[in-house]
Structure 1
Amino acid sequence: MTELSWIDWTVMLTTLFTIVAYGVWKTRGSKNIESYLLGDKASNWWTIGLSVMATQASAITFLSTPGQAYMEGMGFVQFYFGLPLAMIIISAVFIPLYYRLKVYTAYEFLESRFDNKTRALTAILFLIQRGLAAGITIYAPAIILSQIVGWSLNFTILFIGILVIIYTVSGGTKAVSQTHKQQMGIIFLGMFIAFGMLISFIGDSVNFGQSLDIAGAMGKLNIIDTEFNPESKYNIWSGLIGGLFLQLSYFGTDQSQVQRYLSGSSVKESRLGLMFNGLLKIPMQFFILFVGVMVFVFYQFTTPPIHFNEANIAKIQQSEYAEEFNQLESNYNQLIETKKQAQLDFVAAKENGETVIIEAQKTTINQLQAKADAMREESKALILKVDENAETKDDDYIFITFVINYLPIGVIGLLLAVIFSAAMSSTSSELNALGSTATVDMYKRNFKKEGSDTHYLKASKLLTGLFGVFAILFATLASLFENLIEAVNILGSLFYGTILGVFLVAFFFKYIKGNATFISAVISQILIGVLFYLNRSGIYEIGYLWYNLIGPALVILFGFLFQIALPNKKDGDPMHNNSSAQ
């Protein structure tokens, strides 16, 4: 793999330090808790929209998503099909209510609707889920970037974590929103440059239309799966239904997103910000997936590594299996050359309209691809012989390997800045939200009810910093999931369903009171945990997106049952103690 030049180091570090310095300078001197947590409620719609997008678009998005498209095609985009409808529902129902109640966090509303224990439960579920997710958000890019830039894993984790803590603790929500604008600008610039150069490289062998023909023939452009199959991770039904409930919970009840639009200067600005996200998120995700598909096409005419994680290759080259691996790699490279010619023959047949030959060549290239995939699996088996604990899933290394090996000096530094910026943008939102929730929903409500504004400002900064330290520590102890972006989405799906269920009961089922809601939420969370265990154990298979539908359904169902069983309980009357919900 190509070593970074001083130009790449300069571009990367200058970009990152400039963003941090700008965030600290622009937002210096927060005087009170409202300024720190809500940014003086002065954000306009496009700042909100970019901040919402930056919060969701972590480094995992730019490392894992292209690799997922490379291996499985464009089907992952269905995950986001429920998002536009979720934005409409949140704009119509959630935002006006949050503004009317003048809350700092989403969970304050739950005390005014139910009671403090229900508010505390949802806040704790959020703190657990988002606290762990913050660690993964740092760890995911760090484990890959550490190999690319030659730093130790722990130093890379510290580098990302400390930079984020500096400006997030210093400036709060306003710093997060300001830096998000710069980070999203760098991200879009870098990805468009990478895509343009990728198309140029492919153009040496085939034109753009022919590259689409190749991707389509190999099943990489199969975007929509209409089969209703609960075991399938991604189909149009899981995306529209499970995805809708996941996005409702994430954008409507997750403080890392709620805090982004609560900083808006008005309900209108917040709504426009979410609509902006609803319109651009699917095209953005489609584009990132499409980059991965084009990397796949690029490697049809340029020999790819048999394994993309160079750390694993280095281990096997120093072992007794080196000769066996080298022979396998040589056979793999010969197969790639054969496949390259088959691709050219397919393109020629396509241009000439020779239907019979097209189908024959299509079959041939897919058979050759299957043989290449089998050889890749053999290489992974050899790696496991050397180190049985090695992580052989190398999807997350595919895009960064292309960047380092084929993009020119300077652009490599820019793309590395893209990945670091994405890690920082999502982590800053998470730490900001964790500090806010811990301060407002736990510390201020339950431990120090009569503190001064200055006291709560200091407490919020302290708690934000502590969660940053926790995220760094968790990141140093984490291990890779099969796919990093799935790891975050699975973790969210485990908790979001229950949290969303509580909010849906609060909004739409006035009959159900506090005690019934609390008990049903606890039972629902336990059952989702059991379902996840059964799924991971292979006892019962179901796509994780469905947890986001099952969770709310259980909360609502059990809520009715427990309320019927406790008809005379006078708890949790709507808006019974709004004044205490602080």
Structure 2
Amino acid sequence: MSYIDWGVLIATLLLIVGYGVYKSRGAQSMQAYLLGNQSLPWYTVCLSVMATQASAITFLSAPGLAYTSGMSFVQFYFGLPLAMIVLCITFVPIFHRLKVYTAYEYSEQRFDLKTRALTAFLFLIQRGLSTGITIYAPSIILSTILNIDTTYTTLFIGSLVIFYTVYGGTKAVSYTQLLQMSIIFCGLFAAGIMVVHLLPGNMGFSKAISIAGKMGRTNAIDFSFDWNNQYTVWSGLIGGFFLQLSYFGTDQSQVGRYLTGASINQSRLGLLMNGLVKIPMQFLILLIGVLVFTFYQYNKAPLFFNSYELNKLEQSPYKAELKKIQSDYDQSFESKQIEVNKLDKALDANDQKAIDQQRIAVKKADEQNKSIRKDLTELMLKNDKKAATNDNNYIFLSFVTQYLPKGLIGLLIAIIFLASMGSTASALNSLASTSVIDIYKRLINKDATDQQYVNASRWATIIWGVVCILMALYTSKIGNLIEAVNILGSFIYGTILGVFIVAFYLKKIDGKAVFYAAILTEIVVCICGYLQVVAYLWLNVIGCLLVVIFALLIQQFRNKKTAEEIPAV
């Protein structure tokens, strides 16, 4: 990067951190440290909720996902608005009325201590692992810029976020996210304009979308019903609804965001606005990935977007084989560009027959490129069995650093850093609050002072930060990060949601029934997920419904057994 980009990056990060520290001064009580004194307006709640969900993974992986497989991922969010409505009607008023610090306090009030401990434990596992993935995402940036291994950059990023979160508490997190999301929206809009500007002179926005569409990259809507298809309208509306309802309703990283609202109405309005804005925002991010795909039909893309792994191969004994693969790739691109130009002319002439012919020819050329890249990844593994052969998460970053103007590069990289800081800080804050409120305060030290609990929260933040960094160090092998986070969540979110659905709506079911139902459900969901019986979004539906069904059956069995044990008079 240039000195201008480094200046923009550093200045933006300092502004964000300084603003958060300034706003969080005096947060020394538990109420202030974990709930921000419940004083925040709806727009801060809305942007804080969005920033928690929209991590660096969103801005790194989503464009890469659109580049490689199209825009079908946007369907993942179709159930979000419905989930926000249910949350506003049911979850928000209950949590506010009970004045809880965490969502899992309610499960003890409704059921018993072991159910509270189970739901808190499931959350800690899921959020602890997924936060490691969140920390890893921005380390990719430093790794690419500085050309060093992601291990070192992961340690640096993780340590920075731990320091920031330990000091700030939830109020610093929320106010920092307000400024972060404002900058993010501006940066994304600028990036979209620049991608279109960099396309060939005779190509406008609509034509760029047409080119991508003929190559299967604008498949935003799929009405087919297929249990094994990851992204369809139905998996998004139904599976996505259950996942979003569980995430926003029972995941402390999100519950902690809207519990900071100054009133029930402020929390509700913040969630409803999030439901309205999130889908267009995600659509825009995916659309940028599609435009980058079109750009690389006219400009040769790197043979492999992860320059660090490619550099390792260039320094290896397999340098000659790499050179041959590079030569084949160059020839393949030239052939493909001829077919793309023919498709371009057919679109200008509106010749449908020629368009159909060229679409097939371009797809064939695209498959040849994929075959060459497969040869490359096999060579990488031959050189190093631990090589990261999935470069999905580097596609957008590579484009930004190579083609965007000075200043904007620094701003977009700052955006990815800001997104990571916001979501990671929220996660660490929620892990700490759950550990202290649901475990330390409830089971270990019930009579400590308020200051002792604040200190315990800070220590819990540090401990969980270390755990998440260790998880991040093993993240490079898991493929596309945005899918990995949602797959991981789908193994657990349905079960937790089922517990809360029973708590809210099935008043005759007791703690023992729902506790054993949750354990049985989690076993079934893990087996289904491991065997890939259905697409991962459906695991959320299965988990929720099984908890309800098992709880009803177990409760009926217990009631029958109790009735049999009562002696006749």
Q: Quickly name the TM-score band, shorter chain normalised.
A: over 0.9
Residue 578 of structure 1 is matched in structure 2 by none
Residue 238 of structure 1 is matched in structure 2 by 235
- Aligned 8 A contact 2:117 2:438 in 1: yes
Of 502, 507, 513, the residue aligned with 2:499 is: 502
The within-5 A match list for 1:412-431 is 412-431=409-428
How many Å apart are 1:29 and its aligned residue? Answer: 1.4
Residue 567 of structure 2 is matched in structure 1 by none
How many Å apart are 1:181 and its aligned residue? Answer: 1.2
Which AA in structure 2 matches 1:545?
L
Residue 285 of structure 2 is matched in structure 1 by 288
Give the TM-score taking structure 1 as reference length: 0.94
Of 96, 99, 104, the residue aligned with 2:96 is: 99
The alpha-carbon distance between structure 1 residues 285 and 334, as it changes in their structure 2 partners (threshold 3 A), is same
How many Å apart are 1:201 and its aligned residue? Answer: 0.4
Residue 388 of structure 2 is matched in structure 1 by 391
Which AA in structure 2 matches 1:556?
V
Are residues 1:193 and 2:190 paired? yes
Which AA in structure 1 matches 2:146?
V
Are residues 1:446 and 2:438 paired? no
Which AA in structure 1 matches 2:89?
A
- Aligned 8 A contact 1:160 1:423 in 2: no
Work out the CA distance in 1 between the residues paired with 2:343 and 2:416: 36
Work out the CA distance in 1 between the residues paired with 2:490 and 2:412: 30
Work out the CA distance in 1 between the residues paired with 2:432 and 2:561: 34
- Structure 2 gap ranges (5+): 563-569
Residue 437 of structure 1 is matched in structure 2 by 434
Of 24, 40, 43, the residue aligned with 2:40 is: 43
SS at match of 1:377: helix
Work out the CA distance in 2 between the residues paired with 1:267 and 1:165: 31
Work out the CA distance in 1 between the residues paired with 2:359 and 2:241: 37
Which AA in structure 1 matches 2:162?
I
- Aligned 8 A contact 2:140 2:394 in 1: no
Which AA in structure 2 matches 1:131?
G
The alpha-carbon distance between structure 1 residues 324 and 85, as it changes in their structure 2 partners (threshold 3 A), is same
- Aligned 8 A contact 1:496 1:548 in 2: yes
How many Å apart are 1:203 and its aligned residue? Answer: 4.0
How many Å apart are 1:109 and its aligned residue? Answer: 0.8
The within-5 A match list for 1:194-273 is 194-273=191-270
Work out the CA distance in 2 between the residues paired with 1:325 and 1:565: 66
Larger mean CA deviation between 368-377 and 244-253 belongs to 368-377
SS at match of 1:29: coil
The alpha-carbon distance between structure 1 residues 150 and 388, as it changes in their structure 2 partners (threshold 3 A), is closer
Of 266, 278, 281, the residue aligned with 2:275 is: 278
Are residues 1:474 and 2:466 paired? no
Are residues 1:309 and 2:331 paired? no
How many Å apart are 1:171 and its aligned residue? Answer: 2.3
How many Å apart are 1:155 and its aligned residue? Answer: 3.4
Work out the CA distance in 2 between the residues paired with 1:16 and 1:288: 22
Work out the CA distance in 1 between the residues paired with 2:336 and 2:147: 34
Work out the CA distance in 2 between the residues paired with 1:437 and 1:332: 52
- Aligned 8 A contact 1:131 1:471 in 2: yes
Of 542, 559, 569, the residue aligned with 1:567 is: 559
SS at match of 1:323: helix
Larger mean CA deviation between 377-386 and 249-258 belongs to 377-386
1:218-277, Cα deviation, whole Å (9 max, x unpaired): 111111111111111111111111110000000000000001100001111101000110
- Aligned 8 A contact 1:74 1:289 in 2: yes
How many Å apart are 1:340 and its aligned residue? Answer: 2.1
Work out the CA distance in 2 between the residues paired with 1:393 and 1:118: 40
Residue 510 of structure 2 is matched in structure 1 by 513
Larger mean CA deviation between 464-473 and 31-40 belongs to 464-473
Work out the CA distance in 1 between the residues paired with 2:309 and 2:426: 33
Which AA in structure 1 matches 2:535?
G
1:411-436, Cα deviation, whole Å (9 max, x unpaired): 21111111111111100000111111
1:179-219, Cα deviation, whole Å (9 max, x unpaired): 10121122222222221111000143522221111011111
- Aligned 8 A contact 2:390 2:479 in 1: yes
How many Å apart are 1:118 and its aligned residue? Answer: 0.3
- Aligned 8 A contact 1:29 1:171 in 2: no
Work out the CA distance in 2 between the residues paired with 1:409 and 1:104: 45
Work out the CA distance in 1 between the residues paired with 2:80 and 2:424: 22
- Aligned 8 A contact 1:345 1:361 in 2: yes
Which AA in structure 1 matches 2:479?
E
Work out the CA distance in 1 between the residues paired with 2:88 and 2:7: 42
Of 8, 14, 18, the residue aligned with 2:15 is: 18
- Aligned 8 A contact 2:36 2:171 in 1: yes
Of 427, 437, 456, the residue aligned with 1:459 is: 456
The within-5 A match list for 1:288-437 is 288-437=285-434
The alpha-carbon distance between structure 1 residues 569 and 291, as it changes in their structure 2 partners (threshold 3 A), is farther
Larger mean CA deviation between 184-193 and 283-292 belongs to 184-193
SS at match of 2:473: helix
Residue 577 of structure 1 is matched in structure 2 by none
Of 528, 539, 548, the residue aligned with 1:547 is: 539
The alpha-carbon distance between structure 1 residues 401 and 69, as it changes in their structure 2 partners (threshold 3 A), is same
Are residues 1:124 and 2:116 paired? no
Percent of aligned pairs sharing the same letter: 52
Which AA in structure 2 matches 1:466?
I
How many Å apart are 1:347 and its aligned residue? Answer: 2.2
Work out the CA distance in 1 between the residues paired with 2:316 and 2:201: 38
Work out the CA distance in 1 between the residues paired with 2:417 and 2:36: 24
- Aligned 8 A contact 1:20 1:163 in 2: no
1:338-378, Cα deviation, whole Å (9 max, x unpaired): 32232222222222222222221222111111212222212
Work out the CA distance in 2 between the residues paired with 1:159 and 1:9: 17
Work out the CA distance in 2 between the residues paired with 1:555 and 1:17: 46
Work out the CA distance in 1 between the residues paired with 2:467 and 2:340: 50
Work out the CA distance in 2 between the residues paired with 1:150 and 1:11: 20
How many Å apart are 1:144 and its aligned residue? Answer: 4.4
- Structure 1 gap ranges (5+): 536-540, 571-582
The alpha-carbon distance between structure 1 residues 504 and 569, as it changes in their structure 2 partners (threshold 3 A), is farther
How many Å apart are 1:477 and its aligned residue? Answer: 4.0
- Aligned 8 A contact 1:28 1:170 in 2: no
1:262-298, Cα deviation, whole Å (9 max, x unpaired): 0001111101000110001000110000000000000
Work out the CA distance in 1 between the residues paired with 2:193 and 2:23: 33
How many Å apart are 1:18 and its aligned residue? Answer: 2.3
- Aligned 8 A contact 1:306 1:376 in 2: yes
Larger mean CA deviation between 91-100 and 147-156 belongs to 147-156
Of 107, 110, 120, the residue aligned with 1:110 is: 107
- Aligned 8 A contact 2:54 2:419 in 1: yes
- Aligned 8 A contact 2:147 2:307 in 1: no
Work out the CA distance in 2 between the residues paired with 1:341 and 1:187: 37
Larger mean CA deviation between 226-235 and 7-16 belongs to 7-16
Larger mean CA deviation between 402-411 and 242-251 belongs to 402-411
The alpha-carbon distance between structure 1 residues 325 and 155, as it changes in their structure 2 partners (threshold 3 A), is closer
- Aligned 8 A contact 1:140 1:480 in 2: no
Which AA in structure 2 matches 1:189?
C
How many residue pairs were aligned? 562
Work out the CA distance in 2 between the residues paired with 1:566 and 1:447: 32
Larger mean CA deviation between 323-332 and 517-526 belongs to 323-332
The alpha-carbon distance between structure 1 residues 152 and 357, as it changes in their structure 2 partners (threshold 3 A), is closer
SS at match of 2:491: helix
Give the TM-score taking structure 2 as reference length: 0.96
Which AA in structure 2 matches 1:120?
A
Work out the CA distance in 2 between the residues paired with 1:413 and 1:516: 54
- Aligned 8 A contact 1:205 1:301 in 2: no
Residue 491 of structure 1 is matched in structure 2 by 488
SS at match of 1:566: helix
How many Å apart are 1:466 and its aligned residue? Answer: 1.9
